[in-house]
Amino acid sequence: MYSQNQVGYPAIYLKPGRERSLSKGHPWVFSGAMAKIDPQLKSGDIAGIWTAEGKPLGLGFFHSSADIAFRLLTRDVHVRIDKDFWLDRLHHAISLRNQVIPPKTNAYRLINAEGDGFPGLVVDRYGEFLVVEVGTAGMEKQLQTILEILIQCLAPRGILERSESKSRHREGLPDRVQIHYGQISNEVVEILENGLSFRVNIMKGQKTGFFLDQRENRALVASLARGKNVLNCFSYTGAFSVYAIQGGAKKVVSVESSASANVLAKENFLQNAISPEMHPILEADVFEFLRNTDETFDVIILDPPAFAKSKNDLKKAVRGYKDINFYAGKRLAKGGWLFTFSCSNFVDEALFQSIVLSGLNDAKREAQLLARLGPGPDHPTLLGHPEGRYLKGLLVRVW
């Protein structure tokens, strides 16, 4: 009953009609769509996927117990998934970055999972170092090949793996933090972004150490900051603040609850000849600060951590996003600019906009939507895969 395609990969057959999303460009198939699975398949194996009528749809990673049971690699069932396959994908990824990364920048996302044809793999470049995150069983089995081609093509000084994501746990994989190649003698490395210098803790910092997805949004803040009082909430290591100050802001207040992040923020200020005394960095809870301050600001940046890390968190997340946008609305001067973001996968763009609107309405503020914001072009996503675009943002003017 089970057959294999021309290159010998075990087969999965879908239920009638369940190929529609895959045919329209989505790279995932959920377990409930599958009718028959070759019994030799194990989690992380490469499989061919077929319609109920026997039409081949592509090759991808199989998982026996995860909700996402198939992740598409290619629609060409005649190729071999080998080192040359991954090498070709890496060359495409490098070519894109060579075209879109701005001058005086040596830190960026090199591989963005499905968006670059590497389901479950993220690779971030920090100067001479690479930080790798593996989130799927399929990519786990390909890791040694991936490391080989990264070394072959990029000759990094060191490769660090930080695989600690919830997606990894859902695939039954343990956390792993490991230096795979070279030497990384210091936790903190120095990078350049648009000519600005930042110190990044690649060992223990959030995500892989720095919010590389906000580069273009930071530059936008800089372009609008001249002469303005700016409040940077959830400021982490101060990158938005550095950009605002370099853009000519009169005063920038940074609010962050993490003491270790604030230490790096002060170092980043000094790296860029900025006085922390003139532009205060406050160790405080953002919600409490916004509730209690009586200061008004011309620009407020809200870049919180993900409030919804699972569907069960959604109700609480909606409340959190509404509250911070409500309080920000209260503290913005007339004609002020609000940069507001969500990186929660379970909060889509439409829901996020409705939450921001509700918060500003409750604050009795009128609002103009000036731009929808998102990650930069080094974070590509498939057009048919909106879930891959996790960062949502709005630039709003209020009065």
Q: Which residues are catalytic?
A: 343
Q: Which residues contact 82 (CB under 8 A, 6 or more apart)?
A: 145
Output the six-digit token pair for 158.
């060191």
The rounded distance, in Å, linking the Cα atoms of 247 and 369 is 22
β-sheet bridge partners, residue 23: none
Describe the strand order of the beta sheet including 297-302 as a list of residue ranges.
281-283, 251-256, 229-233, 297-302, 332-342, 392-398, 367-373
Output the six-digit token pair for 28.
């995932």
Output the six-digit token pair for 205.
């910092």
The candidate with the shortest Cα–Cα distance to 61, out of 78, 44, 75, 76, is: 44
The SS3 assignment for 249 reads: coil
The rounded distance, in Å, linking the Cα atoms of 247 and 337 is 15
Give CA 27 to chain center in angstroms: 18
Question: Which ranges in 132-206 belong to alpha helices (H)?
Answer: 137-154, 166-170
- Most distant pair of Cα atoms in the chain: their distance: 73
The candidate with the shortest Cα–Cα distance to 171, out of 72, 73, 71, 65, is: 65
DSSP state of 391: -
The candidate with the shortest Cα–Cα distance to 160, out of 145, 178, 175, is: 178
Output the six-digit token pair for 151.
């070394």
